[in-house]
Structure 1
Amino acid sequence: MDPEILVKRAQLGDKEAFVELIKSLESSLYKVSKAILLSDSECLDAVQETILIAYKNIQQVREPKYFKTWITRILINECNKLRKTQTKIVMMDRYLEPATSEQREVFVDLQTAIDGLEPDLRTVITLYYYEDLSVKEIGAILDIAAGTVKSRLNRARAKLNSLLEGHQFEGRVLHE
């Protein structure tokens, strides 16, 4: 069902519509939290708290088409709260597993490199490449200028490029 219709129904008190809406965003919420926190248990805590906040405050969504942006911003705030109190980082099992062992190795190398980025760079990379959000949308979610988003993306790409120098991805060498 159309997410905008689900948001409107949820705002009218339809609990099933809210559940369906959250299920459609489950993977996205997890990936974003993973980009910030890395620890599986903390990611799940952040997502759970985000869902509770969203449920209690869904009336605040003025434009249903921006629900994903709205809930992602809540999630990032919750992740940042958890990160501030974080005492250790626990690496979790990889979320996606490619089909072949060679693809799996490349994926693990790429994900390890992404996990090694500073949180602000890791967040923009995840939102841009995994969540397919625009620079403008990322800026709105993180409450930063589009130029800052572009700068962070460029810094993240440069760091990833140097970390993954010589690796091949889909037939292309990342850096020669």
Structure 2
Amino acid sequence: MELENSTTVNSKIEVVNFKTLSKDSFAELILENKVSLYRLSKSILKTEADVQDAISETIIKAYTNIHKLKAMNSFKPWIMKILVNECYSIIKKHKKIELTDDFTAYEGSYEDKTDDNLMFYVNQLKEEFKSVIILFYYDDISIKNISKILNLSEGTVKSRLSRAKVKLKVMMEENSGGDSFE
């Protein structure tokens, strides 16, 4: 396939213009970001079904609104922002439903299947800290973009990152018998 005036996106996909992005190119972008999408949605939502719903809705909205994207290098923060909005939309819907049974036994946390012991501790953090840690350290998203994704000021993101690191250090030291990690 020969393209005029093509630009390289993520070193893998060549497109003439993101407004005329082919279905295959869009699918490749989704595949490149699938772990990040899953990890972030799982950090916000409790059930696997909700995670899958949020990701599906995100992909549909991203595909139908790709023409609104201003620059291809903004694709990941843009789609993550859509995902966060979908996750919170699902949470709002669940809050409207009044549950009478105790479902705490069914609550879970995201478990990364890699040998990453740190993720065990990250999963124990409150959502506000878990999201910024995952976006910053695991998905390599800048503070500026995290602030846009989560609708927070950059100062709040920095503060949450700092507080989360302190909490993680304390948890890890408590479970290692007080050994220092520095």
1:140-155 to structure 2, matched below 5 A, reads 140-155=148-163
| Structure 2, unpaired ranges of 5+ | 1-7
| Change over 3 Å in CA distance of 1:138–1:122 after alignment to 2 | same
Contact persistence 2:109–2:123 (CA under 8 A): no
Q: Which residue of 2 aligns with 1:48?
A: 56
Q: Name the structure with the higher helix share.
A: 1
Distance 1:147 1:29 in 2: 24
Q: Which residue of 2 aligns with 1:80?
A: 88
Provide TM-score, normalisation by structure 1: 0.79
Q: Which residue of 1 aligns with 2:168?
A: 160
**From 108, 112, 129, the counterpart of 1:91:** 108
Q: Which residue of 1 aligns with 2:9?
A: 2
- Residue deviations 1:39-74, cap 9 Å, x none? 322212111110011011111001111011110000
Name segments (4+ residues, structure 1) moved above 3 Å.
Answer: 3-10, 86-89, 172-175
Secondary structure in 2 matching 1:96: coil
1:100-139 to structure 2, matched below 5 A, reads 107=117, 110-139=118-147
Contact persistence 1:50–1:71 (CA under 8 A): yes
Distance 1:132 1:12 in 2: 27
- Range that drifts further, 87-96 or 143-152: 87-96
How far did residue 8 of structure 1 move? 5.3
| Change over 3 Å in CA distance of 1:113–1:156 after alignment to 2 | same
Secondary structure in 2 matching 1:117: coil
RMSD over aligned CA atoms reads 2.6
Contact persistence 1:6–1:18 (CA under 8 A): no
**From 37, 47, 55, the counterpart of 1:39:** 47
Contact persistence 1:7–1:18 (CA under 8 A): no
How far did residue 10 of structure 1 move? 5.2
- Residue deviations 1:7-26, cap 9 Å, x none? 65552151111111111111
Q: Which residue of 1 aligns with 2:24?
A: 16
2:66 paired with 1:58: yes
